[in-house]
Amino acid sequence: MLEVEGLTKSFGGFTAVADIRLSVEPGAIHAVIGPNGAGKTTLFNLVTGVLAPSAGRLRFEGEDITGWRADRITARGVARTFQNIRLFREMTAVENVMVGAHCRTSGGFLAAVARVPGRLGRAERETIRRADELLDLVGLSDKRDVAAADLTLVEQRRLEIARALAIAPRLLLLDEPAAGMTPAEIQDANRLILRIRERGVTVLLTEHHMSVVMQVSDRITVLNYGRKIAEGRPESVRRDPEVLAAYLGADA
């Protein structure tokens, strides 16, 4: 589904990622791990068009998307969440999800958000229905009309996932989806990621919680200082000496 070929990004004399190569298979949950500063978020920014690569190519479903604008990549079927949550804080949960659906909506999403009685068209009604379905998926049905600013951190992370899913992506990038969660909440996040895959969405994620990575991932790519140092199934990556030294720790 996604092919990354020799991807490199330099900022002046600093190379954040260097000659990264990886392939994400359709229907997979593929994790990218590494210490802070390893280049994970830079890689996500390159894949989603937030940054333009200094070298290398990106292909999504066989189409070269190198250098595409972020909005064009989103419309093509790639969505993401952010490590630092980016919600419309004064909007309700359902309104945030509806805004996320606007690139798939023929009607005006602002009209749907306004909910003018008797003036909602079929497209607006469908947008609301879809938003409610996604809120149910992430466990936020009871928070539908709560402002995003009044949700807990965990609820905000779930809401951001629902908003990303609203564009009906085929590839979803999750940046630290379990950050700040308790062990019980992490298990809930694991189950949600698996449910997303069951809906036919391929997942590429970064995560520091190894319980998430090892339990849900089909394949793991490990970065260190902007370079790929290992790749494989969770059980092989867990035993890789270079990974243990660079990321998991000598006693992992």
d(CA 54, CA 140): 40
d(CA 241, CA 16): 23
pLDDT digits (tens, 9 = 90+) for 9-41: 999 889 999 999 999 999 999 999 998 889 999
Predicted pLDDT at 252? 40
What's the predicted TM-score (pTM) here? 0.89
Q: Token pair for residue 232?
A: 């494989």
Fold of 2-77+169-248: Rossmann fold (3.40.50)
pLDDT digits (tens, 9 = 90+) for 121-170: 677 888 899 999 999 999 999 999 999 999 999 999 999 999 999 999 99
Q: Is 61 exposed, middle or buried (0-12, 13-18, 19+ CB in 10 A)?
A: middle
Predicted pLDDT at 36? 86
pLDDT digits (tens, 9 = 90+) for 199-246: 999 999 999 888 899 999 999 999 999 999 999 999 999 888 888 887
d(CA 119, CA 128): 14
pLDDT digits (tens, 9 = 90+) for 88-99: 999 999 999 999
